[in-house]
Copies of this chain bind each other. A is one copy, B any other.
Amino acid sequence: MSLLQNTLAGIKPQDQDIRRQAKDRLDRLTMPHWALGRLLDLALDLAGMTGSLKPPVDRRIIVTMAGDHGVAAEGVSAFPREVTGQMVANIAAGGAGINALARVADAQVQVVDMGAACDLSALADDGSILSRRIAPGTANMARGAAMSRDQAVHCLETGIEIANLFAAEAELFGTGEMGIANTTPSSAIVAVLTGATAEEATGCGTGIDDERRKHKIDVIEQALQVNRPDPHDGLDVLTKVGGFEIGGLAGLILGAAALRKPVIIDGFISTAAALLAQSLAPASADYMIAAHHSIEQGHQLALARLGKKPLLDLDFRLGEGTGAALAMNLVEGAKRILTEMATFDEAAVCKGNGKA
């Protein structure tokens, strides 16, 4: 079997027995029942994902994948295409939003060039990014397929390879991306995989006005009409309207799920990648944690399809992995509650009875 087939076959649901054991302990901790709400739900998930009552989440990595998009030629973004490479250099130098927020979580940031249009070899040569270039940007999806089916498989297997590469040193993954125009393919993916219209799945990206957004919707509708992606085949969706960094992230998520490691899904683009992963292996959703609610229109649709409610809602729309980084401390909190709090018996605290 290929790496992709092997990985898909290796993704199993959460461990229900460990979940039950975790629930039993959480029920007995010194607090009113379930008084830490969603942090306790998260603790259950961490136990089920890792198969452990002491879920390891201390060593953390944000994998920020970069790529360019042929569809940028249609004028769908507020920023020029060269910004992808400039921002990769900014992240590599430690000056971007993701660098600042990853430091809060004590997380490593690893940039992977999946196919930027510019030459990033100097950054790859000095070890500040990993080079896994599929091609210098995708083809324009408004005119035909964004990539070949082989390239789509290559994207996914690259993401799996990156997950495996960091398997020994990372216990908790976060996704991030950088790619001018990449809300456009993401909206196309979300529309196909949720059954929404292009209009429902399309927002203002990095900050376009209403008129430009209308144009963006037209471009996405054209891409869907030209390519007719099969909503039951995630690989076809990636091929027709995807992006190299989006496919790479889908692979990273599949790889993390096969390793039984939690993976925090950042914002809109990362969630589009998560939908691709879910489409290829439904059980992979068992390993996903939704970081934050993006203000990008369509994110809510994608989250609903994944069955996820995000941890944070702070009006973010940056990407790079910034929301995932900020959610890492919440994951740590959930783990500490499960492993460090005393039970009523251990602490000799009387239990309550709320009945009249």
Residues of A within 8 A of B (CB): 29-33, 35-39, 77-80, 82-83, 86-87, 89-90, 93-97, 99-101, 103-105, 204-209, 211-212, 215, 295, 311-318, 322, 326, 329-330, 332-333, 336-337, 340-342, 346-356
Contacts and interface: CB of A to CB of B under 8 A. Distances in A.
8 contacts: A30-B96, A31-B96, A31-B318, A79-B350, A80-B350, A209-B355, A211-B356, A314-B330
Given A90-B342, A311-B314, A100 B333 contact: yes
Given A35-B317, A349-B86, A354 B311 contact: no
A75 to B, nearest CB: 8
A80 B33 CA distance: 15
Contacts of A354: 78, 204, 206-209, 212
Contact of A340 (B99, B312, B326): B99
The 7 A-B residue pairs whose C-beta atoms are closest, nearest first, are A37-B315, A95-B342, A78-B354, A211-B356, A32-B206, A78-B352, A100-B336
Contacts of A33: 207
Given A95-B30, A215-B356, A354-B78, A318 B35 contact: yes
Dominant secondary structure at the A interface:
loop
B212 A355 contact: yes
Q: Which of A31, A204, A317 has the most CB of B within 10 A?
A: A31
Nearest to A318: B35
A354 B176 CA distance: 23
Contacts of A329: 104-105, 326, 329
A337 B39 contact: no
Given A35-B97, A100-B336, A100-B340, 19 more contacts: A29-B97, A30-B95, A31-B97, A32-B317, A37-B316, A38-B315, A39-B314, A83-B352, A89-B347, A90-B349, A95-B340, A96-B341, A96-B347, A103-B340, A104-B329, A206-B352, A208-B356, A215-B356, A326-B330
Contacts of A206: 32, 35, 352, 354
Contacts of A349: 83, 86-87, 90
Contacts of A355: 208-209, 211-212
A336 B346 CA distance: 39
B352 A314 contact: no
Q: Which of A35, A80, A312, A336 has the most CB of B within 10 A?
A: A35
A333 B30 contact: no
A295 B37 contact: yes
Given A86-B349, A212-B354, A39 B316 contact: yes
Nearest to A331: B104
A105 B212 CA distance: 42
A20 B212 CA distance: 31
B30 A90 contact: yes
Q: Which of A89, A205, A208, A215 has the most CB of B within 10 A?
A: A208
Contacts of A313: 313
Nearest to A94: B340
A296 B337 CA distance: 21
A77 B77 CA distance: 56
Contacts of A315: 37-38
A339 to B, nearest CB: 8
B346 A95 contact: yes
